[in-house]
């Protein structure tokens, strides 16, 4: 079969895959594999189809085949990590992800690929969220730090701060949250949260100062107003 026919098969499989016609896409990809089994995208698409059908063993097998062909194929490493995490095989998922990162480093790319970094960051967030869900805050913190190193997004920094709170490291959480509020002065929820942490560590005046700053910008903010009233009534109980 001529190479042009291979490309036609691949293009046709892609179109059907993107249209949700998995049965048609699968048929074309099996034809293509008979003449060329070195296209990682084909294995990645087949793995996604099997995952959608709940055929996890076949999905894992095909994601691994894609990575055998191209260890730097990010879509396959991310997909495989997600399946392993869904199955509770967190350490395996982590190892797959680390291997993919090492392969990318070994490729010695001269410029960072924003698309790859975005995908890697999202995978770290997903893994961190799973660890957080099961109260494994140290592992969650490690994943969120890696995600933030790739993409410095405010929502990731707040996840990091929440890990410190859950670990009981309130002083570190307060320090990080003060920096966050300084960098994002319009982030009302973060400033209210900072006030709560200050209140719960008996720094009432500092807490009230944070909530009053919110009220200065948003006079009708009921949450900030509620906390100010509570502090004024000297009810020394934890707010959260």
3-state SS of the chain is: CCHHHHHHHHHHHHHHHHHCCHHHHHHHHHHHHCCCCCCHHHHHHHHHHHHHCCCHHHHHHHHHHHHHHCCCCHHHHHHHHHHHHHCCCHHHHHHHHHHHHHHHHHCCCCCCCHHHHHHHHHHHHHHHHHHHHCCCHHHHHHHHHHHHHHCCCHHHHHHHHHHHHHHCCHHHHHHHHHHHHHHCCCCHHHHHHHHHHHHHCCCHHHHHHHHHHHHHHCCCCHHHHHHHHHHHCCCCCCCC
**Residue 4's pLDDT is what?**
45
Fold of 172-240: 1.25.40
Longest dimension (CA), the chain: 82
- Tell the residue number behind the tokens 């001529």, with chain if given: 2
Phi, psi of 219 (to 5 degrees): -60, -25
169: Cβ–Cβ under 8 A, 6 or more apart, which residues? none
- Tell the residue number behind the tokens 């982590």, with chain if given: 94
- The domain locations on the chain are 3-171, 172-240
- The stretch 131-158 carries a mean pLDDT of 93
- Tell the residue number behind the tokens 């996840």, with chain if given: 159
Same fold, 3-171 and 172-240: yes
Name the percent of the chain lying above pLDDT 70: 91
Question: pTM for the full model?
Answer: 0.54
- The stretch 79-84 carries a mean pLDDT of 89
Name which CATH class applies to 3-171.
mainly alpha
Cβ–Cβ contacts within 10 Å for residue 36, how many? 13
Does the pLDDT of residue 79 top 90, yes or no? no
Name the percent of the chain lying above pLDDT 90: 67
């Amino acid at each position: 079969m001529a190479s042009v026919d291979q490309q036609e098969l691949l293009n046709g499989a892609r179109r059907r895959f993107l249209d949700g016609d998995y049965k048609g896409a699968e048929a074309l990809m099996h034809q293509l594999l008979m003449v060329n089994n070195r296209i990682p995208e084909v294995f990645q698409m087949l793995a996604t189809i099997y995952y959608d059908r709940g055929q996890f063993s076949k999905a894992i097998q095909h994601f691994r085949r894609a990575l055998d062909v191209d260890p730097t194929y990010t879509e396959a490493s991310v997909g495989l990590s997600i399946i392993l995490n869904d199955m509770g095989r967190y350490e395996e998922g982590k190892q797959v992800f680390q291997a993919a990162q090492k392969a990318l480093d070994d490729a010695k790319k001269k410029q960072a690929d924003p698309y790859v970094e975005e995908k890697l960051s999202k995978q770290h967030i997903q893994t961190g969220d799973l660890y957080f869900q099961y109260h494994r805050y140290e592992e969650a913190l490690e994943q969120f730090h890696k995600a933030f190193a790739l993409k410095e997004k405010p929502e990731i920094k707040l996840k990091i701060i929440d890990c410190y709170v859950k670990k009981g490291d309130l002083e570190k959480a307060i320090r990080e949250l003060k920096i966050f509020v300084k960098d994002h002065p319009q982030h009302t929820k973060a400033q209210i949260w900072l006030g709560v942490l200050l209140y719960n560590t008996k720094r009432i005046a500092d807490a009230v100062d944070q909530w009053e700053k919110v009220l200065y910008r948003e006079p009708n903010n009921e949450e900030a107003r509620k906390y100010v009233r509570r502090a004024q009534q000297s009810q020394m109980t934890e707010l959260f």
